[in-house]
Structure 1
């Protein structure tokens, strides 16, 4: 099967990390909404995602997208135990900042700021990078996420010990690892399949 390469319409690519809402433009043609079958809709999990170019691109493999989406929802939305939502989002934002994924960083920094009410700290992470001082608990989460981002072998017992010393239990530590690992994978999809764009002026 051949893929259609798209030429995105004229747009402005964001030059800095931001919490602002951004668009994302694919370089390959997503499926048309009218071509989505019941199997594709099941793969989307959430029918509203049919409005997203990104998800209509990934739904070309509905089984993979369904597994991906259910994993995502469990990591970030499962409230049973573990890390508070704000800090799961912090880990994803730190990974995205380290990987240079402006789009993913905008989404997850926005969530981290909303749930933590620490907008200024999240903005400093975006502006200055992952080496800034955010207080020991957040520093430990960011350091663990960055180690996993640089290379999984860089993450080790010292990171676990630091997370424990900062007050995280085993389930919370697992959430840091899962959020960071998932977004290392998700960033690579976003970065290789399209690019962020500033929303067109109304």
Structure 2
């Protein structure tokens, strides 16, 4: 397989695991339950198949992920993706940044915002609400976190309500964890 990718892109790379993924045909009933697949469903990522080695944790991880990223109300799906991109940029998770930048572009039906973020980071000249979301996710994802009351006020001034702010905190936090896990289990590569 190709070389490791080190620059942000909206082209989703291949994620090459360091750990051998569970073979779906050989998965235990507990692993299949955690994966929520039937024998005829073969479109399961290597990432999830690696996580299936710990079926109990995966059984809780997927509903949590879906609840944070796809629940109704609160922030729009596109804005949640900006939060995920912010965390992924801070954590240098090329794979997650590509996946969620690409999803943002699809949902928002525009590519200028992500191009500006990848080029200029927190100095990106983007719409004020998106800038507040991205900057908050970046500051929350720093180690140690830098988000404070001033950042919360900036979100309110950008028009986010309490439910939207909670969604942003959850999406950025989820990706702070997910990025670090992706780094330890594999790497993005060009084919």
> Which ranges of structure 2 fall in alignment gaps of 5 or more residues?
none
Q: Which has the higher contact order (CA 8 A, sep 6+)?
A: 2
Aligned-residue offset at 1:29? 1.2
Q: Distance in 2 between matches of 1:153 and 1:17?
A: 22
CA contact (8 A) 1:24 1:195 kept: yes
Residue 75 (structure 1) aligned with residue 68 (structure 2): yes
Q: Residue 165 of structure 2 corresponds to which residue in structure 1?
A: 173
Residue 12 (structure 1) aligned with residue 6 (structure 2): no
CA contact (8 A) 2:24 2:42 kept: no
* SS of match in other structure, 1:25: strand
> Which ranges of structure 1 fall in alignment gaps of 5 or more residues?
1-9
Aligned CA RMSD, in angstroms, stands at 1.7
CA contact (8 A) 1:99 1:149 kept: yes
Aligned-residue offset at 1:127? 2.9
> Normalization by structure 1: what TM-score?
0.87
Q: Residue 38 of structure 1 corresponds to which residue in structure 2?
A: 29
Aligned-residue offset at 1:185? 0.3
Aligned-residue offset at 1:39? 1.2
* Higher mean C-alpha displacement, 29-38 vs 59-68: 29-38
Distance 1:101 1:49, change over 3 A: farther
Distance 1:44 1:130, change over 3 A: farther
Q: Residue 26 of structure 1 corresponds to which residue in structure 2?
A: 17
Aligned-residue offset at 1:36? 0.6
Q: Distance in 2 between matches of 1:69 and 1:40?
A: 13
> Normalization by structure 2: what TM-score?
0.92
Residue 63 (structure 1) aligned with residue 43 (structure 2): no
Aligned-residue offset at 1:49? 7.2
* SS of match in other structure, 1:93: helix
Aligned-residue offset at 1:104? 0.3
